[in-house]
Amino acid sequence: MDNIKKYEQLKTTGASPEEVYRIAEADGLNSIQRIKLVKQLYSLGLKEAKQVSIVASGVASSLDEHQSNLADALQEALDRGDFDDLKE
């Protein structure tokens, strides 16, 4: 994140946190760096910054939806007795 000025300029010109997140991803920043970046630039809490990452990545429309999907998938795996995905 050496070039934070680029992202500050994007914010100044009206880029949304999701847009900045996607640009940072294209620039090669890892997911933790991207979350820290939008958290810092937009004065977000960790939960809000994580939601930006979920929405920007197209995984779900909100953090709550994403967590619900994960819980459903886990419950389905438990119901099937399919624990292979849970092994280390």
d(CA 44, CA 76): 33
Report the C-alpha gap between 21 and 38 in whole angstroms. 7
Q: What is the pLDDT of residue 88?
A: 47
- Residue 62's pLDDT band, with cuts at 50, 70 and 90, is confident
pLDDT in tens, 26-45: 999 999 999 999 999 999 99
Longest dimension (CA), the chain: 51
Q: Domain ranges in the chain?
A: 4-86
At 86 the pLDDT is 57
Record the tokens describing residue 8, joined without a space: 């500050």
What does the pLDDT look like over 8-30, one tens digit per residue? 999 999 999 999 999 999 999 99
